[in-house]
Amino acid sequence: MSDLKIRPATEQDIDLILQFVRELAIYEKAEHEVLATPDHVRNTLFGANPAVFGLICEVDAKAIGFAVYFFNYSTWQGRHGLYLEDLYVTPDARGHGAGKALLQHLAQIALDKDCGRFEWSVLDWNTPSIEFYDSLGALPQNEWIRYRMTGDALQGLAAGAQKMPA
């Protein structure tokens, strides 16, 4: 690609980030699950003490993709890890190195921050992405089952904690 640039996301990118989030959700057949608002993004990525960070990928000053990541922790390693929450490249820019450049940039951040791991999840039907990640030497972690709790189940579990004696 001609002039490829990866830069930290800024508050001026909020609408762009939300656009990319919607495009990714459409690709993942989950557009109905997108609840993020400009205020959510502003508060979480650009508030006083952000715990999540964003990157914007540009070619010739046109935004073509983004990545959102945060740091987790491995008790076994005693070190932080970098977790890639989302990576998205617009369809017309795919296959030209932007995704790989974003992953390389994130890998360098992980090394700079002394992270012991760089991890992400991929939908099991997303064959092009799985093949791409395999080509980079990433290994699937098939022995782990990811769990998620939202809505009523999350509120119900938390309500049980509120009733416990201190």
User: Look-up: residue for tokens 């995704």?
Assistant: 99
Phi, psi (degrees; rounded to nearest 5) at 145: -110, 125
Helix (H) or strand (E) holding 87: strand 79-89
Using DSSP, state whether 146 is helix, strand or coil: coil
Cα–Cα separations (whole angstroms), residue 164 to 49, 55, 120, 156, 159: 30, 41, 35, 13, 9
Residue type, 31: E
CA 60/CA 156 separation, integer angstroms: 49
Q: How far apart are the first and last CA of the chain?
A: 58
Phi, psi (degrees; rounded to nearest 5) at 112: -60, -30
The yes-or-no answer on residue 88 being catalytic is: no
Instruction: From the candidates 69, 73, 133, 147, give the one annotated as an active-site residue.
Output: 133
Taking the CB of residue 64, how many other CB atoms lie within 10 A of it? 22
Which positions are catalytic?
133
